[in-house]
Amino acid sequence: MSESSQSPLFYNRVRMLDRAADRELRLMPPHDFRFASETNAIPLVAEELFSAQASYPIVFADAEAPKPIAVVGLRNHENLFVRPDGSWEPNAYLPLYVRRHPFLLIDDNDGRLHLGIDDAAPCWSMAEGMNLFDMDEPTVLTKNMLEFCTRYRRQHRIALALGMALKEQSLLVEYRFNVTVMGEAHNVSGCMVVAEDRLAALPDEVFLEWRAAGWLPMITAHLLSLRQWESLGRMSMTHAEPAALAA
């Protein structure tokens, strides 16, 4: 597969879309995001950092190949933005990674990229929804998803390049955030952020190179997003109160 040799986050049974076998397959309109409810971190790509920074703290994960992620919960297996009915918090940005599901790109042995699906996703139907094929030809929906996934892949690579550049210049430092919710202390760790003092000391030639690459606004979006930790803490408190009352 294009992202790893194993199924990526949220995907359980990945396979290539087949125009013969999937001629009658239909996609139900996306409205239930409970498939994303048991993670507290969602991958982000380059073009969405500007939009995501208004809703989530954006940090970098994986010290070997740093990648930007949106933090969506303070506990493991907790996504505060998925409501009990499966809807996404209406005033929050919906990450592209979530929007892409249940589609993705697959690298085949022929060296080409093909549109794939999560065969186990509950959004498939044979009776209702939007067709993926009209006879043997892909529908507008299928063509649009192929274009979406292709663009996502390009933006994913840009985000990876940014993370590696930050690592090479030693700009990433370990970050910890502590918050107390209903008397319970939560320590968020295992993530990295850009050190502003090191960024300010970046050599001029590197600064100009990064400006030309379009990375500086992305770094700014990341730094601005760190203001959202307090908002995330308040959301966690709001979610904890009904549980405490029920207990």
Question: Residue 4's pLDDT is what?
Answer: 42
Secondary structure element (H or E) that encloses residue 230, with its range? helix 228-246
Which residues, 6+ apart, have CB-to-CB distance to 65 below 8 Å? 160, 163, 164
Which residues on neighbouring strands pair with residue 130, listed in sequence order? 27
Is the CB of residue 159 less than 8 Å from the CB of residue 65? Answer: no
Which residues, 6+ apart, have CB-to-CB distance to 188 below 8 Å? 71, 74, 176, 177, 178, 179, 229
Cβ atoms within 10 Å, residue 193: 20
**pTM higher than the cut 0.75:** yes
> How is the chain split into domains, by residue range?
14-246
Is the CB of residue 61 less than 8 Å from the CB of residue 69? Answer: yes
- The pLDDT profile of the chain, 247 residues, written as one tens digit per residue, is 334 446 799 999 999 999 999 999 999 987 899 999 999 999 999 999 999 999 999 999 988 999 999 999 988 899 999 999 999 999 999 999 999 999 999 987 777 889 999 999 999 999 999 999 998 899 999 999 999 999 999 999 999 999 999 999 999 999 887 766 666 666 777 899 999 999 999 999 999 999 999 999 999 999 999 999 989 988 888 776 554 434 4
Residue 239, token pair as written in the block: 């979610």
Question: Residue 53's pLDDT is what?
Answer: 98
Is the CB of residue 7 less than 8 Å from the CB of residue 14? Answer: yes
Please give the Cα distance from 146 to 104 (Å, whole number).
8
Question: Residue 3's pLDDT is what?
Answer: 45
The alpha carbon of residue 64 and the mean position of all alpha carbons in its chain are separated, in whole angstroms, by 19
Residue 114, token pair as written in the block: 């093909």
Of the chain, the end-to-end C-alpha distance in Å amounts to 44
Compute the residue count for the chain.
247
Place of tokens 């303070």: 74
Place of tokens 């370990």: 174
List, edge to edge, every strand of the sheet that includes 130-131.
124-125, 26-27, 130-131
Please give the Cα distance from 159 to 168 (Å, whole number).
14
Cβ atoms within 10 Å, residue 83: 14
Helix, strand, or coil (residue 216):
helix
Cβ atoms within 10 Å, residue 180: 11
